[in-house]
Structure 1
Amino acid sequence: MQATSQAAASNLPVHSKAQRVGFLVRGGHQLIIIALIVILGLAIYTVQPRFLSAYSIDNILRMASIYGIVALGMTLVIISGGIDLSAGSMMALGAAFGAGLLGTAFGAVNPISLPPVLAILVALAVTGGIGMLNGMAVAKLGIPPFVVTLGMMTVVRGITFIFADFTVGSVPGSAITFMDPLFSWLGAGSFGPVPTTAVLFLLLAFLLAMTLRYTPFGRAIYAIGGDAAIARLAGINIPAVIVGVYGLMGVLAALSGIVQAGRLSSVSPLMAMGYELDIITIVIVGGASLAGGRGTILGTVLAAVLVSMIDNGLTMMNVPSFYQYLVKGSVLLAAVILDQWYQRCRAA
């Protein structure tokens, strides 16, 4: 009888510490973010009642969508084991090309005048191509993603200044100020009470979530981030996947910049300067691992709302900008520490 009991016990599933922690992170992480959104929202509301006004919520949704669209691309990059520090510069370049090619900028001197849809497509193609160059440098030349994208961040910012000067032709560094119905609808329009940007963000999030879950490309991204050597042995074309991921990152960054330009009807060459911290914070807080191989689109969507709430709440409470950097940096550091703890538990 005792032998039978022991045999039965030996057939029961064994849950290691790593498995329990893994379940907690995968299954409960989104719930934790939702709880933080509720708790934080109520806490800020007690200090600043206008925080839950219709105007404030609309602003949070628009900010979350602008951050979130480019964060979707960063999610794919980080899952694959990489990182992209040129995201903010890509946003500025995409917005500058999109707005500058319209030919409607105030004081415009460039002879180019394209229909809005074509101008947007050209902007997406340019930044997508630059993103693919990042991917080729990483996959083909073996240069670390941090080094490649750090250099490209400066190069792209320089191209943005040059193109803005070409478009406006006034004082170097001048903004491209323009008006266009399509851009304004993307950046400031609404479907009833829901901002257009939020609808676009959620649609892109759904498409990318389905891509990661149900397509060979999505599964290859996880495989490469988990273990590139095993992915290569499995027959995955690693360079093609990496180039595709970084190219998609460039497209989404430009689209986010175009939405921002439509909201402001202006593109400064300094647009999105320093956004990289916010974008990476969103992705890591959303549950992606800097080591690669782990992350979800849902986590990124929820984290984008959380970070935007923090931004909007601190601004409404008139908290100085340097304290805001302190808060966001602390949030990022806490998320990285939690990720490292999880990695050690997996290795145990």
Structure 2
Amino acid sequence: RTTLPAVVSIVISKQLRDVAHDLPHDLDIIPPFLRKQEKKARLEAIHRAADAKGMVEVGGGSGFFVDPTGLILTNKHVISDPKARYTVLNYQGEPLETTVLSRDPINDIAILKVHTHGKKKRFPVVPLGNSSTLKLGQFVLTFGNVLGVFRNTVSLGIISGLSRSITAQASSSSPPQELRGLIQTDAAVNPGNSGGPLIDMKGKAVGINAAIASGAESVGFAIPINPVKRDLADIKRYGRIKRPFLGVRYIMLTKDLQKKIGAPVSNGAVVVRETIHDHAVAPGSPAAEAGIREGDIILSCNGHSLSSSFSLQDALESCKVGDVISLEVLRGKKLLTLRVMLAERT
């Protein structure tokens, strides 16, 4: 009763021509002799689904109010397509005029703001809980716009796991993103649930529904709410999300990777480019100014050892823009201590 009025549905629409243009990529998995017939049938269906302005509804997501002035939390991947139009609907299905205030450059989080045009309007909110106190087996609820069709859907489940790490893709054409520290739940998290709240039995949001495991049932993941609180504080203070920037590309060492590349240690972050066109150390970045080089192995950050279970990204989560951090770096046989002032990620 208290949560549903604060949950919104996000309808994703695209121009008819853009949807039609994407069809050939989607048809690649169909045998060649059936593609022409299938493409014709799909184009006819798309034209029937288009509205008077030539817009076609192609998907949906969810979000929820976290501030009575109209701040809405959702997933970054829900509103990532620059060619799409996003319509936010309240609990009663009424459209709300919104704008994207900020997207978290690291986590799958975005914050929207409803335009009230000077009117003193207050919105129902979902109070934020404490995701660090979650226990395995604890009951939770998911809310959202399931499959972009079934709005105001509620599902019950339990916390199945904590601190999970996965690699997720919003679509086949989008780059994969590593998500760490996630909450695993068997409560139904379906397409369209993304961005909706994961609620404890006290009615507080402890997470944001974010992903499902492909090919599995009852395996959903949510972003813990505690890191999101910092994003909200940034929005209220600066008008944008401020995240620290170091400026290195890296992979975390494991024993298997150590054997493959002949690294002298099995833990740490190896500074390495992803492709020949990338920079391992971003030019002009704090890392470059501190003297970090490609091939360096960052062993620790502020005294905390780095490993596959505690990455460099994890270490930076507790840091702020302007913080000076101490990095222990292995360069060949030399052990170096470098101090770096973190800049703001843009």
| Structure of greater relative contact order (alpha carbons < 8 Å, 6+ residues apart) | 1
Normalising by structure 2, we get a TM-score of: 0.26
Normalising by structure 1, we get a TM-score of: 0.26
